Structures are given as structure tokens and as C-alpha cells.
Structure 1
Amino acid sequence: MSELLWGKPSLPSRGPKPAVTLAGIAEAGIRIADAEGLDAVSMQRIAGELPVTKMALYRYVPGKTELIAVMSDLAMGAPPDRPDLPWREALHAWAMDLYDGFTRHPWLLLSTVGRRLLGPNELAWIERGLAALTGTGLTGGEQMDSILVVTSHVRNIAQQSTTFPGHTTGLTEEDMQESLTQILTTEAARFPHLTTALRTAAGSENQGLEFGLQRILDGLELLISGRKASTSPH
């Protein structure tokens, strides 16, 4: 699988010119996953999208597991370049870019978990996040843990605010808010704290993304400031 992810597929060197490429196969899979969800992706479906038979696809990729890995790395793409930002602004921009990627391709929230081989784009995202923390005084382990915490927060908010293709509940955000408002109107005495909080709440649907991210960055700033203070000469 590593050869597929790193652009070194072993294809026959003889015979007619291939009708498709590995990238073309992955792009077809991405289109299907974006429209219908990850479960809809199959070698048969992809063959129907391309000028090639299902069996011919196996010349390029051994099976669905490997295909999903290539699709995921391709869909993530390279992280946007945002040079010359202070560490806090750089890490904030990195997190928001990551969130945008998850909302463009919600199935990535399912395909990029667990133990698996990592491709060049996914590693580039990690590299870019760590670059933001270079020079802050944090150890390598602390930098990695910081990226893990930020990523976990972004993933959680994206998962809560995303409707996965193929798994829709049939409700819009407005439907959910209206239903909750109606319930709390009649059940305010039963849920007094929730009712009060919602009445005074204001902001966008993803307010929790920004709130949590700023609190994480606040904590890192305290750690970084304390580290610099303890190592500076007196």
C-alpha cells in the first residue's frame, strides 16, 4: 500500500497505454463518496464511472482498503501555505483549513481514523502544524500532543455539524433548532439551565469550533510563556 500512497505503483511496463490512472480512479471514488458516502464506493461503481472493467481496476489497486487510503490522501490535498505568521495565528489558520477540508469531504472523518499507513499529503498537514510550533520552546512530544489535541477538537466539531452523505436524517439545522425551541417552550421547568443557556446564546452554528480552539491556544500560550520565563536568564 505504501507504494500506492507514495506514487510508485507497480504497473505492467508492456502492452497498450492504460485507459485510466490511479489518480483518475481515486478521483472517481472521491466523487462517489462526496455525493453518496463512503459505503457507496466500490470497484464496481468506479468501473461504471470509467472506461474500464472492474477486473481491470485491480491492475492499479488491490482492493477497496487500498483505494480508500489513496482517495483520502488525494482528497486532503496539500495544506495551504500561510507563511510568516506568529505561532498562535499559524496554528489557528491550520486548524480552520483542516476543518474546511473535513466539511468539503465529510467521509474523511471516517476514513482517516485508526492505525493505517499515512500518505504524503496527510504527513504534510502534520508537518505544517508542527512548523507553527517550531521555536516556541515546546518539546517534540509536546508539539505532537498539541497537534493531536487541536486535530481532535476540529474533528469532533466537524463530525457534530456535518451531515454525512448517505446517512441523512432528513432534518436541516433550522428543523433541529425549531424542534428544540418547541420542546423547551413546553418543558422549560424540566430543563431550566438548558433553557436559560439557549436563550442567552448567540453566534454561528460552529461557534463551538472557535470557542474551543481559542481555549486550547490559550492553554498553549500559558505553557509556552511559562517555558520561556523559566529558561530566560535572570
Structure 2
Amino acid sequence: MKRGRKPTIDAADITRAAIAIADAEGLAAVSMARVAQEMGNATMALYRHVKSKDELLQLMADAAFEDPPPLPDGEWRARFEVWAKSLLAGIRKRPWFLQIPLNGPPSGPKSLLWFDSALGALDDTPLEPGEKVGVVMSLMTFVHGEAWLNVALTQGFEKDPAQFSREYGQRLREVVDPRRMPALAKIVASGVFDVDDLLDADDMAAEFDFGLHLFLEGVAAHIGGRR
């Protein structure tokens, strides 16, 4: 019995297979050989469409998210809030995205859709084109940083929940010298860290909202100055 020809593949097929592996086992499990094995192809067949693992990782990073959500009608601030929270949700869904090196500004088709969406939120503002780009890139940096912190702390909690309990506040009282760290000592003494769960999901969401509020306040002040 003759074996049939293997189905034709392309870069999109390879990217989807790599993402499935990363979703199931983490980014470390992704290799050209492993993707080829999952697809039932020879490794060299993949190199006809994707030149290297680095290129594959960039394709994965671009394809990691859904299309940006429709933004609400109204002023730029409400639109930015939806955009930022949607991006954060996408990264939390696929935390391996944060392990992929950032090699340059947005250039993939999906990344450019997100970039366009955020820029469009600023259409009715008096900002110059370069200012709009700067604001969007700064917002992207904020969301990525918050997502990295969220994922890193969650992984730390899974390894050692005790370090996120009241023990943390107790340890700080032992090591924080009021003479050398007076500001931190006042915060510790206030009892801010005397809680059972420092990684409470509601608290983390509130902290993200507060950070986003501060960022948007700064943008609003800048726009006010431009007017």
C-alpha cells in the first residue's frame, strides 16, 4: 500500500502547532523538531517556510492574541481602558508570550492591528502623530510590565504560598531598619502587609486599575496642556 503525500503546510500551520505546544507544555517545549513531530513532517520541511526558531517565536508572539476588541464610543480614556484590560487578559491567557524576546517595534499583522486600535482611540485628541505613538508605546509598556509582574508573582505563589501570607509582614518587621529605610518602615508599621493573602485576585485587579488610572491621568494632563 502506497503512502499518500503529506499535506501541504505553511507558516501559519507551523505557528498554530507551536502555539498549541506552548499552551500545553510551556515555551521551553517548543522546538522546530518538536513542532515537526507534532505535525507529522520532517524537520527540514518546516525550514522551507520558517527560517529559524527565532523567526518561529516572533510568529508565535504575533499570533498569540485574538483581534483587538471593538472599542466603545466616547472619549479616548474609556477606549484606552478597554484596550489595556483586553491586552492584559490576552497575556495572562498565554503567559509564555512574556518569555519571547522583543526584537523591535510592532511589525506583525496582529500586532499592527492592536497598535492601530490604540492609536485610533486618540483620533479626537490634539496630540501630534509622534505624541500618539509615544503614548501608545508607553501604555503598552505599562500593560506588559503589569502582566509580567502578575505572572511572576503567581508562579512564585504556586511554589511557596507562605511568602505571600502574614509571614511576609513579620519578616519585614525583622529586617527593615527604620534608620536606614524610614519610609518603608512607616508603611510596614501601618499594617499594609499584615494580610492573609498578598496575591488576592481582586486586589491585583484593583492595583492594575489604580496604575492605569495614574497613567491615564498623566496623559490627560498632557492633552490638557496641548489644548
Tell me whether the two structures share a fold, i.e. TM-score over 0.5: yes
- The aligned counterpart of 2:111 is 122
The amino acid that maps onto 1:109 is L
Contact 1:43 1:54 in 2 (8 A): yes
Segments of structure 1 that go 5 or more residues without pairing to the other structure are 1-15, 229-234
Contact 2:22 2:30 in 1 (8 A): yes
- The aligned counterpart of 2:193 is 198
Give the TM-score, by structure 2 length: 0.80
For 2:45 and 2:171, the matched residues in 1 are separated by 61
Match of 2:14 among 25, 31, 48: 25
- The aligned counterpart of 1:142 is 131
- The aligned counterpart of 1:171 is 158
Give the TM-score, by structure 1 length: 0.78
Contact 2:169 2:193 in 1 (8 A): no
Kindly provide the CA deviation profile for residues 78-117 of structure 1, in whole angstroms up to 9, marking residues without a partner as x.
2112241321000111111111111111122232613277
For 1:217 and 1:43, the matched residues in 2 are separated by 42
Secondary structure in 2 matching 1:18: coil
**CA deviation after TM superposition for structure 1 residue 24, in Å:** 2.0
- The aligned counterpart of 2:216 is 217
Task: Quickly say closer, same or farther: Cα 1:190–1:58, change in 2 above 3 A.
Answer: closer
Task: Quickly say closer, same or farther: Cα 1:92–1:46, change in 2 above 3 A.
Answer: same
Identity, in percent, stands at 32
For 1:96 and 1:73, the matched residues in 2 are separated by 18
The amino acid that maps onto 1:143 is K
- The aligned counterpart of 1:6 is none
May I ask how many residue pairs the two structures share in their alignment?
209
Please list, as runs of the form range in 1=range in 2, the aligned pairs for 1:1-234 lying within 5 A after superposition: 18-111=7-100, 113-115=102-104, 118-163=107-152, 171=158, 174-178=161-165, 181-185=166-170, 187-188=172-173, 190-191=175-176, 192-195=185-188, 196=190, 197-199=192-194, 204-228=203-227
Secondary structure in 2 matching 1:115: coil
For 2:88 and 2:106, the matched residues in 1 are separated by 22
Segments of structure 2 that go 5 or more residues without pairing to the other structure are 177-184
The amino acid that maps onto 1:193 is K
**CA deviation after TM superposition for structure 1 residue 27, in Å:** 1.1
Indicate the structure whose relative CO is greater, using CA pairs within 8 Å and at least 6 residues apart. 1
For 2:140 and 2:105, the matched residues in 1 are separated by 17
Task: Quickly say closer, same or farther: Cα 1:135–1:96, change in 2 above 3 A.
Answer: same
Q: Does 35-44 or 200-209 show the bigger shift?
A: 200-209
The amino acid that maps onto 1:73 is D
